[in-house]
Each structure stands twice: as C-alpha cells, then as structure tokens.
Chains A and B, each alone.
Chain A
Amino acid sequence: MIEYLEILGQEVYKIIFLLVPILVSVAMIVWLDRRVWGLVQKRKGPNVVGPFGLFQTLADALKYIFKEIIIPASANKVVFILAPIVTMTLALVAWAVIPMSEDLVLANINVGILYLFAISSLGVYGIIMGGWASNSKYPFLGAIRSAAQMVSYEVSIGIIIINVLLCVGSLNLNDIVIAQKELWFVIPLFPMFVIFFISSLAETNRPPFDLPEAEAELVAGYQTEYSGMMYAMFWLGEYANILLMCAMGSILFLGGWLPLMDIYPLNIIPAPIWMILKILFLFLLFALIKAIVPRYRYDQLMRLGWKIFLPFSLIYLVLTASFLFYFDKLPKVNI
C-alpha cells in the first residue's frame, strides 16, 4: 500500500510541476496578447504594474478573486457553477500529453493525438453549459453559435490531423515529432498548416471568429452573466486552450521540440526551449490576427468551414495519400 501512495505522490508532484508553469505562462501570454494588441494600435498596452507591466494579469486575477460571484436568480445553479470548471479543467487536462522534449512528457500514450483531439472536442461543453444555465437570451445565443462553430471546424481539423498521420504512421506525439527530423511537415503540407491555423482560431473563438462573444451583438456571449472568479476561470481556460492549439500546431507542423536545423550552435539549445519558442511564434500570429482582422459574418464563417476548408482538406488528403503510395514513401510498419 505504501508503494502505491509513493507512486501516487510522485504523480501528483509531476502534475503540479506541469500545471504551475502552464498557469504562469497563461498569465504571461495574456499580458503578451494585450501588449501586441496595443502596439499594433499604436497604444502602449498594460505597462504599469511591475516591469513592463508583466504583473498586470496577476493584479487582474487578484481583483477577480476578491470580486463577488453573482449567480442569477433564474439560473440553473449547479450547471452554472460547473461550466467554468469544465472549461478550465479540460484546457489543463490536455497538457498531460504534450511532449516538451523526448522524455519531458507526463504521459507518453499511444494515442496521444486522438486524446488531444478528444479533449479539444469536449471544450464545447463548458460554453454550452454556461450559455444555457445562465437562462438569459444573449448567453444562450452565444453558446449556440459557439457550439455550431466549434463542431464544424473540428471536422476539418480532424482531416488535417489525418494528413499528418499518413506521413507519420503513428498516433504517438513523440513519433510525430521524430518523423519530422528530416523535413518539417510545414513544407510539404503547407496548405494544411494554413487551414489548421485558421481552424484553430475558430476552435478557440478568437477573432476574426469570435462570434460567440461578439460584443456588438451579444454583449459578451456566453460569459455575460458571469462575474468574479467564475469569469476569470472561463478566461484562463480560453487562453490555456489557445496555448494548447499553438502547441498542437507546433507538434504537427513545426517539428515540436526539434531544433531549427541540426547544426552546431542550434542543437545545443535544449529541446523545451525550442518547443516554447515555436509555441510563442504561433501565439504571436494569433495575437497579431486579433489586432488586424475584422470579425466575420456568421454565414461567412459557416461557409468557410463547410464549403471551403472541408472539401479542400479532403482533396489534399487524397493527394497526400496517392503521393505517398506511388512514390513508396508510406511509413513502414514493423510488426
């Protein structure tokens, strides 16, 4: 029995060492996002609290903690409280399989990419539950929009993942990274990378696809009735999801923890730093797009997902498969 407790203790220790950096980096990433947004619009952005305003998010979080949590009288209380918890938990749970280097991963499971896909497809529930439980019109409309949007963009993300898996021959995330040792998948699968990036914008409800919280039409979408810490949890979960999508993009297309090139000054930099740099690069693109691009109309969003991305990624899938087949480049299975 003592052994089990010891193993359990070790796991808890590992999980804490995974979660704390993620929460801290989420706080930093919120600051970066606002900073980039400010710089694009020729403002300064948050620059008062701490050096360069780095502690702005912590100050905000402190404010949220001490604010009163208001639960609407007509709300379904259990579901209302559960919704932000679900969002936050799902956003953090997915990080268990993300490899930061060959050994630095909490759970190196066989079906890593399926796990990531499954968890990100569960993310809809936090939003639907929040929107429905608020028992108010704007949150409900926002939740419905968001559910339709996330479900439709997941389809093309799934097909893009299949594209990558065809070139790898394994569902393990570490194998996917190692398969890119010669050539990052961003080069042969560049169109898929673009579509993956845009779909992940839609999947995380970021501008230009932030229709679930379009403030001009829906006040704040599914978050309208939330206040205090519960709002902060939605908000943290959202940013953790964005980081997760960036990590997924860098693993699938940008070679994960592999260095830029396997030559001397570059390959002594430790693998986790490469991974972090790639995540940051993708996140900077996310932040820039938020600042630059105007919001889509809802029917345009749906058309883009179903009539352009889905057929295009299907055609590309067929092309990839036939290329790999005819040039005999299909990954070898060793039984």
Chain B
Amino acid sequence: MIIHTIFFYFFSVIAIFSSLMVITSRSTINSVFFLILDFISVGCLFIMVGAEFLGMILLIVYVGAVAVLFLFVVMMLNVAEQKQSWFIGKKSTHIPTGLIVSVLILLELLVVVGGWKYKEDLMSSSTLLLSNISNTHQLGLVMYTDYILYFQLAGIVLLLAMIGAILLTFRERIGVKKQSYLKQISRSPSNAVELIEVKSNQGVKIDD
C-alpha cells in the first residue's frame, strides 16, 4: 500500500505542477508540452484506480491525437513568446473572463458531484453487475444497452462537427490544375512516349 500511495502522490504532484505550468509558462509550445505531461499523468492516475480502459483511451485520444493537433497549430502559427504572464508585469484583460469561466465550471462540478452523492441511484443501471469482470467489459455492457441513445447521439454530434469543419474550410478554386489518379495510373508507355529518330541539324517539332 505504501508503494501505491507513493505512486499516487508522485503522479498527482506531476499533474498539478504541469497544469500550473500550462497557464504560467511563457512559451506557448512549452504550455502544450506541459499539457501533454498533464494528460499522461492523469492517465496514469486513472490506471491506478483501476479504470485502465479510460486511462488508455485518454492517452490514445487526447495525447495521441488532440494534443498533436494543438502542437501542430501552435507551431504553425509561430506565436511569439508571451511578454507577460498573468502574475508578472502588466495586468492582463483576460483575467475576469477566465475567472467567470472557472467559477462556472467549479459550480457545475459541485452540482454534479453533489447530486451524485445525494441521490445514489441517479445514474444506476440495471445491466451493471458488480462482479469480477474487468471494467472494460462492464463499460461495453452498459454503453451498448442502457446508454445506446446517448452514445449514438454523441457519435452524431462528432460527425456533424467534422462535416461542419470540412464545409467551412472547403472552397472551390478556379484555374487550379488537379491531378487525376485514374488518368495517371492508366497511362501506358505506348501513348505517352514517342521515339523519334532525329536527323542532324533539323531538330524535333514539339506540338503543344
């Protein structure tokens, strides 16, 4: 148990430290790297409490895909180093907005966690059996039976978001040459290459 506690504090200290560094570090790239470290240590915490599926999915989805895109955007935008962090130098105008948002999130968390404590069968499920099957199995059992509607709806929302993003960035440009793969692959040497015997001092006539 001692080892367990040591590991727990190890990961949670790293998680808290890196989440602080995300908002205080001066270079944006470093912020993203600390965000990744935060994700990883939270994933480790998930695994430590026995939610190995959630931990792995956190690693795959957030670290493996979302954070890569963050990093991509930050690197491409070439954001200059922030001249002022929020507690050094001049006062930033973002503080009130940030405070409002964080207070709202705190209230929401309080409502959710409090409601869960207050009414124990709030999110209970008839399919969920407390037995020694792994939590991945249990998640599968619940997700495709009791919560199939929410699961599918979440999928549709994601699909809509994807289609919307593609639609927003899609524009047809006129006058751009496009490559047709079919044409490129189906070209054969017989109609693409011509062998000509060139006579001296006459050259070749190119017809285009």
A51→B8 CA distance, assembly (Å): 51
Binding site for A on B (CB under 8 A): 2-3, 29, 33, 36, 52-53, 56-57, 59-60, 63-65, 68, 71-72, 75-76, 129, 131, 133-134, 136-137, 179, 181
CB pair B64 A121 closer than 8 Å: yes
Contact check: which of B2, B52, B60, B136 meets A4 at CB < 8 Å?
A: B2
At the interface with chain B, which of A124-132, A210-218, A235-243, A262-270?
Answer: A124-132
A299 interface contact, C-beta 8 A: yes
B64 adjacent to A114 (CB under 8 Å): no
Contact partner, B63, options A1, A122, A335, Cβ 8 Å: A122
* Contacting pair B64 A154 (CB below 8 A): yes
In the assembled complex, which residues on chain B have CB atoms less than 8 Å from the CB atom of A299? Answer: 179
Secondary structure of the B contact surface, majority rule: helix
Q: Which residue on B lies nearest to A300, using beta carbons?
A: B181
In angstroms, Cα B56 to Cα A118, docked, is 6
**Interchain CB contact under 8 A, A79 and B53:** no
Which A residues form the contact surface with B (CB < 8 A)? Answer: 1, 4, 76, 79, 109-111, 114-115, 117-118, 121-122, 124-125, 128-129, 132, 140, 144, 147, 151, 154, 158, 171, 299-300, 303, 333, 335
In the bound complex, CA of A307 to CA of B36 (Å): 30
Can you list 26 residue pairs at the A/B interface with Cβ under 8 Å?
A1-B2, A4-B2, A4-B3, A79-B33, A111-B53, A111-B56, A111-B136, A114-B53, A115-B56, A117-B60, A121-B60, A121-B63, A122-B59, A128-B75, A132-B71, A132-B75, A144-B72, A147-B71, A151-B65, A151-B68, A154-B65, A300-B181, A333-B133, A333-B137, A335-B129, A335-B131
What is the bound-complex CA distance between A128 and B3, given in angstroms?
Answer: 35
The list of the 7 closest CB pairs from A to B, nearest first, reads A121-B64, A114-B56, A118-B59, A118-B60, A111-B52, A110-B134, A118-B56
CA distance A69 to B33 in the complex (A): 24
A124-B64, A125-B36 given; 10 more Cβ-contact pairs under 8 Å: A79-B33, A110-B52, A110-B134, A111-B53, A114-B52, A124-B68, A144-B75, A144-B76, A147-B72, A333-B137
**Closest CB of chain B to A3's CB: distance in Å?**
10
Complex interface: chain A residues within 8 A of B57 (CB): 114
Contacting pair A147 B133 (CB below 8 A): no
Which B-chain residue is minimally distant from A116 (CB atoms)?
Answer: B56
**Chain B nearest CB, measured from A133 CB (Å):** 9
Residues of chain A lying within 8 A (CB to CB) of residue B29: 76, 79, 132
Q: Give chain A residues whose Cβ lies under 8 Å from the Cβ of B136.
A: 110-111, 171
Q: Are A303 and B68 in contact (CB under 8 A)?
A: no
* Distance in angstroms between the alpha carbons of A214 and B146 in the assembled complex: 51
Main secondary structure of the interface of A (DSSP, over half): helix
- Name the residue of chain A whose CB is nearest to the CB of B3: A4
Q: Are A118 and B52 in contact (CB under 8 A)?
A: no
- Bound Cα distance A117, B55 (Å): 13
In the complex, the chain A residue whose C-beta lies closest to that of B134 is: A110
Give the chain B neighbours of A118 by CB distance below 8 A.
56, 59-60, 63-64
In the complex, which residues of chain B have a beta carbon less than 8 angstroms from the beta carbon of A111?
52-53, 56, 136
Which of B36, B60, B72, B133 meets A114, CB within 8 Å?
Answer: B60
- Give every chain B residue within 8 A of A300 (Cβ-Cβ): 181
> Are B63 and A109 neighbours in the complex by a CB distance under 8 Å?
no
Complex contact A335–B64 (CB within 8 A): no
Point out the residues of chain A lying under 8 angstroms from B71, CB to CB: 128, 132, 147
| Cα separation A303 to B179 with both chains bound (whole Å) | 12
Cα A144 to Cα B57 with chains together (Å): 24
CB distance from A112 to the nearest CB of B (A): 10
Q: Does B137 contact A303, Cβ atoms closer than 8 Å?
A: no
A70: min CB distance to chain B, Å: 22
Asked whether, in the complex, the Cβ of B68 is within 8 Å of the Cβ of A128, the reply is yes
Q: How far is the CA of A302 from the CA of B63 in the complex (A)?
A: 22
Query: Which residues of chain A have C-beta atoms less than 8 A from B179's C-beta?
Result: 299
Bound complex: CA A293 to CA B56 (Å): 35
Minimal Cβ-Cβ distance residue in A for B36: A125
Task: Report the separation of the CA atoms of residues A244 and B131 in the bound assembly, to the nearest whole angstrom.
Answer: 35
Most buried by B among A4, A128, A335: A335
Residues of B within 8 A of A158 (CB): 60
Minimum CB–CB distance for A318 against chain B, Å:
15
Q: Are B68 and A147 in contact (CB under 8 A)?
A: yes
A118 to B60 alpha-carbon distance, docked (Å)? 5
Question: Separation in Å of the B43 CB from the closest CB of chain A?
Answer: 8
B131 close to A109 (CB less than 8 A): no
Q: Which residues of B contact A125 (CB under 8 A)?
A: 36, 68
